[in-house]
Amino acid sequence: MLSQSVNAQKLTLSKKLGSNWSSDMVSMKNKPNGIIYRLREDIQCEDLPRVPEVEGLDVMIAEPIDQGWLALYRLPLTADDYNFVVVFYNRDKQPTQAINLCDISNNRYCEVQDVRWDGENQYLMFNMACPSYASGVNGKGSKLHCYDVAKKKMVWETNWLTSNDIFIFDDQFVYCSYGFTDEKDYLFMLDKFTGKVYSKIPMAKKVDYLELNVQNDKKQLYAVDYNKHLFIYNVEGAKSAAPKLFTVVYATSSDGFLNLREKPSTSSRILGRLNSKSHDLGNGVLLEQGDQWSKVSINGTVGYVYTKYMGKQTWFDGKGKTILVARDNINVYAEDFSDSGRMPVFSTLKAGTIIADRYSDEGEYYRLVTGHDCLFVKKTDVQVNNAL
């Protein structure tokens, strides 16, 4: 469990409205089944095929995500015990992976009340909430979990009594709450990459709905409580604990490659190939992602590949106490598989980029420790800094 201390508040109350606020101030998009329900339900697809892991379970969520579909299944609400399974589907609605949330959280006595997918970082976030009073589980409930699906490990988990009912997130933060009857109620703002608490605000009543509103570069959090009162908080900026270096892309097509084309069209000239993963590393770098075509760079050649068959993974997030930072515009080198005696340039980075927080000394180079263990930077190109 993370040791979390509250810094200066990053949420500041801008406005409090009674129960007579206009209904068009919030869209309800984050909780389509209504604010009175503690368990989010959002079934946007009725024909996702079942896998053996979800036989006998009810579907509660079936929503589109970047790679296809995500579905949450659970034992019926009338059941005496719990079982929660998330299944990922590709764009053709074929199942690709099933994850039992009870197994990865080691919790079979709490209820999943919300689950969210962060495709940019391959994070699956979910809460294991108290099904009734916290005293019924000795206070050991309502924890929020962040699971890295690509690496198959838990990234972080909060303290108990942090998240029940709805939670949402943006590019840096997770917004959640805890509250129920006579227990103390709070609104939280967490760092998405570490689970660190930036704000913990007492609430008079439990929060039933959350929504972000961004206008003219001003970000506000709208929170509706159990009494249907609306609270509007200004969200103060904070530097992310995990700046991104680059996103690796690779082909997921059955033939093992995608054509790199000069323009986003199947009739455009072929410039090269985007290959499938080799040693857990793709051979392209994502520049811009589109719904149908994505702009990528392969060995310095820029072109377009078909998004449907392109996989991606973001690498080298700075999360630790010390980090490597690029001094100038530098090269990242890949392992040489051709025995030519040289390391080819994999990507180039701008000065000031945080590269990694795990690395080892390899003489002239630092070896970057990631899912792929053979990417390098020259020591003279980087400096070791304390994390922000």
Instruction: Give the domains, in start order, of the chain with CATH numbers.
Output: 11-235 (2.40.128.630), 246-315 (2.30.30.40), 322-386 (2.30.30)
- Rounded to whole angstroms, how far apart are CA atoms 2 and 149? 19
pLDDT of residue 165: 96
pLDDT of residue 45: 95
pLDDT-flagged residues of the chain (< 50): 1-7, 240-243, 372, 388
pLDDT of residue 342: 67
pLDDT of residue 21: 94
Contacts 24+ apart (CB under 8 A), 288-292: 290/264, 292/264
pLDDT of residue 181: 66
pLDDT of residue 246: 61
- Rounded to whole angstroms, how far apart are CA atoms 199 and 191? 10
Mapped onto helix, strand or coil, the DSSP state of residue 54 is helix
Mapped onto helix, strand or coil, the DSSP state of residue 137 is helix
CA angle 105/109/111 to nearest 5° reads 80
